[in-house]
Every structure is written in C-alpha cells, then in structure tokens.
C-alpha cells in the first residue's frame, strides 16, 4: 500500500471517527455539547471544562489571518479546543479547533455553552479563571475561582481565606488536566504537523478513541 492510498484512507476515516463522539458506556456515545449537558443533568454529576492548546505549523507569510493563530498565553502558533470531562477526568467532549488567539470564554460562548446551560437541566460545571464572567442562568452554572476583592493591601485574614478557597476549587477541577494529558499522549496532538484544516476532526476523533479505551479498561468482562 503506497503513501497516497494511506493518506486517502486516513482522510476518509478521520471525519467518521470524529462524528462517533465519546463513549460513556458500551454502545452509548455523546456527540454534542448539548448531549453532554443533558447527560450530566440526568445523572446529577459535576462536569469540568478547560481549554487546551495544540501547536500547529505557522501559516505562510502574507496570509491575512496569520496572526490569529498566535496564542496570547504561550506566544506560539496554536489552535485551541475546549475539553469537557466528568469528575473522574474521563473525556466526554472535545470541541472543534479555533485559532489560538481566541480567549477561553469567547470560545465557550461561540460553542453555545451559555445558551445550553440556560435552557437545559440544572448542572454544575467547574472551570478556571479563564471562564470568569461566563454567566449561565437560571439552570446551569459555571463555577470559577473566587474573584479577589482586594487588589492591594489585603488583610491577612482575607489572603488566607482566598488562598484556601482557590486551592479547594483547584483540587476539584484538577481531573480535567488528567484528561487533557491523556489526550496529548497521542503524538498527533503533542504537536500537529499536518494541515490545520484537519485538526478540528483530528481532536474529536482521538477523543472518541481514547474514551472508548477508557470504558474498555473499566469493564473487566470485556472480551480479550
């Protein structure tokens, strides 16, 4: 089998894998962000979201959108995806990629998270400070680290309380970092060297494969 045949086969399989969604139990998959929210509302679980960046090739000189891929956080050419996990860090949803200059909160709004939470079931989602200000009422809510009320000359009691609250929140949402780490163990997402237009299918495709593997590992009765 030659190189061109393999490339064509990958191009045909990639979008099919991306459409399968993430497996939550044998034969049951979640394909959209709305389905994930409904699942958490029905189960009463707390979800966790975070944005992750994947390095990509620098756009060619002269392209008018060249600067949009430069990450404001790491100052490198990247795309960003929003990751949604359950409280144990199992992947449930990976969004299509957006250029790295897009802020986490902007990406979440573009994905319709606020509307889905407002119209959907009551659910709690943990997020980091990048999502502060992401209001979602009346049903769902996004819980972020507490705002600082004193920018300077804060009393000692306030510093201690704020640090305690911040660490408590961080310990609750740390599992999403584990989910992202498992995702980036795949070489294609450690640094993407292929075409940028394929990355939006590559991320959910790998997430779907990983979620299926995680479910299989939890099932001791699986066939060998």
Q: Are 50 and 144 in contact (CB under 8 A)?
A: no
pLDDT digits (tens, 9 = 90+) for 122-162: 889 999 999 988 865 556 788 998 887 777 787 888 888 88
Whether cis (ω within 30° of 0) applies to the bond prior to 138 is yes
CA atoms within 13 A on the CB side of 149: 7
Which structure tokens are listed for 46? 């707390």
pLDDT at 224: 45
CA atoms within 13 A on the CB side of 127: 25
184 Cβ neighbours under 8 A, 6+ residues apart: 52, 54, 190
CB 24 within 8 A of CB 39: yes
Position 223 scores a pLDDT of 45
Q: Tell me: pLDDT of 27 over 50.
A: yes
Q: The whole model's pTM is what?
A: 0.84
Residue at token pair 């600067």: 67
CA angle 177, 179, 184 (to 5 degrees): 90
């Amino acid at each position: 089998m030659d190189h061109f045949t393999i490339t064509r086969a990958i191009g045909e399989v990639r979008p099919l894998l991306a459409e399968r969604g993430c497996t939550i139990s044998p034969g049951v998959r979640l394909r959209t962000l709305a389905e994930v929210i409904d699942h958490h509302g029905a189960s009463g679980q707390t979800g966790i979201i975070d944005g992750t960046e994947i390095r990509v090739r620098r756009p060619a000189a002269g392209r008018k959108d060249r600067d949009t891929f430069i990450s404001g956080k790491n100052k490198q050419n990247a795309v960003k995806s929003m990751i949604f996990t359950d409280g144990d860090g199992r992947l449930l949803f990976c969004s299509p990629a957006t250029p790295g200059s897009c802020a986490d909160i902007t990406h979440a709004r573009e994905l319709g998270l606020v509307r889905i939470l407002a119209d959907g079931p009551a659910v709690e989602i943990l997020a980091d400070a990048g999502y502060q200000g992401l209001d979602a009422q009346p049903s769902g809510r996004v819980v972020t680290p507490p705002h600082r009320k004193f920018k300077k000359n804060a009393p000692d009691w306030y510093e201690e309380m704020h640090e305690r609250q911040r660490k408590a929140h961080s310990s609750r949402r740390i599992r999403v970092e584990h989910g992202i780490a498992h995702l980036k163990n795949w070489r294609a997402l450690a640094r993407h060297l292929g075409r940028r237009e394929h990355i939006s299918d590559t991320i959910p495709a790998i997430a779907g494969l990983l979620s299926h593997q995680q479910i299989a590992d939890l099932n001791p009765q699986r066939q060998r």
